[in-house]
């Protein structure tokens, strides 16, 4: 873990629970793509930088999930590097309490106010094409989170953040976190057409061909949608839908899984309602969902 892997002349990734990208701008200066999950991750990254006599100039966050921005504060404090994050995710990076609040739908209990869902705040700036290193391209990847973005490096490595889960993860957990189902499917449809020398998803193996994994993720979305519609053959409230999904897929309920899977299931219900496949109505002061 935290091994530095070179994938092209100037592009690397650091093997970690959420892969951290690294690009050398010259013999001394480097940038990171994401920063890991916490201060300890940031410390391990700093040790790699120091062992190579590299100077960190900037961190480019793909999105604001805590496992991607958790090392920001430590590394910025140690190096003075700038931090850039896309759109709404920049606001979440500056104000990390927004993430557990968004997931819970209110002020979150202490059970959700921890580093897994709430990184330390860092001084992030809005990501634009103008503040990218020369030759870099932003790849918009909405769906998993608000304004998530990937990056294409000048030596044709593509960092894909969290837009793909590995086959093993999907087979084990079935329901991956998605904020906007329609946008996510559009992103996967785009990703499967991309060409690059190497693709680096944050939570799957680096590969030269990305289309098969993109299709596997798309198929899983449609499978979960069909499962939810099957459960809603009779009217169910949200909590019943969630309970039946956890039971079907043998998932274990705790606060983290309740908000992560729960938020995703609500997104599925919204998408299915907006596409006319599920009706929502109120009965006895309860919101119920029923397949059309």
**Residue 90, pLDDT score:** 98
* DSSP state string for 207-275: BS--HHHHHHHHHHHHHHHHHHHHHTTS-EEHHHHHHHHHHHTT----HHHHHHHHHHHHHHHHHHHHT
Same domain for 21 and 136? yes
Instruction: Provide the terminal-to-terminal Cα distance of the chain, rounded to the nearest Å.
Output: 48
Cβ atoms within 10 Å of 139's Cβ, excluding its own: 20
**pTM for the full model?**
0.97
pLDDT-flagged residues of the chain (< 50): none
For residue 187, is it within any domain? no
**Residue 112, pLDDT score:** 98
Same domain for 134 and 22? yes
Return d(Cα 272, Cα 178) in angstroms, integer.
Answer: 14
For residue 127, is it within any domain? yes
Q: 247 is in which domain, residue-wise? A: 233-291
Cβ atoms within 10 Å of 18's Cβ, excluding its own: 22
Same domain for 30 and 128? yes
Q: Which of 162, 181, 215 is the last residue of a domain?
A: 162
For residue 197, is it within any domain? no
Return d(Cα 65, Cα 116) in angstroms, integer.
Answer: 9
Same domain for 270 and 158? no
Same domain for 251 and 117? no
**Residue 200, pLDDT score:** 98
Same domain for 255 and 142? no
**Residue 192, pLDDT score:** 98
For residue 32, is it within any domain? yes
At 6-18, the pLDDT tens digits run 999 999 999 999 9
For residue 110, is it within any domain? yes
Same domain for 22 and 137? yes
Same domain for 108 and 239? no
Q: Which of 162, 178, 204 is the last residue of a domain?
A: 162
Q: How many domains does the chain have?
A: 2
**Residue 142, pLDDT score:** 98
At 10-41, the pLDDT tens digits run 999 999 999 999 999 999 999 999 999 999 99
Provide the pairing of β-strand 124-126 with 82-85.
parallel
For residue 252, is it within any domain? yes
Same domain for 15 and 145? yes
**Residue 250, pLDDT score:** 95
Same domain for 55 and 158? yes
Same domain for 118 and 14? yes
CATH of the domain at 258: 1.10.10
CATH of the domain at 78: 3.60.15.10
Q: Which of 137, 162, 187 is the last residue of a domain?
A: 162
For residue 154, is it within any domain? yes
């Amino acid at each position: 873990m935290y091994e530095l892997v070179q994938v092209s002349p100037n592009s690397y990734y650091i093997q970690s629970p959420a892969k951290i990208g690294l690009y050398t701008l010259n013999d001394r200066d480097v940038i990171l793509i994401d920063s890991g999950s916490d201060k300890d991750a940031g410390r391990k990254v700093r040790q790699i930088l120091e062992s190579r006599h590299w100077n960190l100039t900037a961190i480019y966050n793909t999105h604001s999930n805590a496992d991607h921005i958790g090392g920001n504060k430590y590394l910025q404090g140690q190096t003075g590097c700038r931090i850039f994050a896309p759109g709404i995710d920049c606001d979440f990076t500056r104000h990390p309490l927004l993430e557990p609040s968004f997931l819970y739908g209110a002020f979150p209990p202490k059970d959700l106010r921890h580093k897994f869902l709430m990184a330390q705040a860092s001084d992030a700036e809005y990501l634009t094409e103008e503040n990218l290193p020369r030759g870099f391209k932003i790849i918009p990847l909405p769906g998993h989170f608000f304004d998530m973005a990937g990056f294409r490096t000048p030596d044709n490595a593509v960092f894909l953040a969290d837009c793909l889960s590995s086959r093993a993860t999907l087979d084990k957990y079935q329901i991956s976190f998605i904020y906007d189902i329609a946008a996510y499917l559009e992103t996967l449809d785009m990703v499967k057409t991309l060409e690059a020398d190497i693709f680096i998803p944050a939570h799957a193996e680096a590969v030269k061909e990305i289309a098969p994994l993109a299709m596997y993720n798309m198929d899983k979305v449609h499978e979960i949608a069909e499962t939810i519609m099957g459960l809603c053959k009779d009217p169910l409230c949200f909590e019943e839908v969630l309970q039946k999904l956890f039971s079907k897929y043998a998932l274990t309920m705790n606060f983290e899984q309740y908000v992560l899977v729960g938020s995703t299931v609500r997104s599925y219900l919204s998408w299915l309602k907006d596409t006319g496949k599920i009706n929502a109505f109120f009965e006895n002061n309860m919101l119920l969902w029923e397949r059309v």
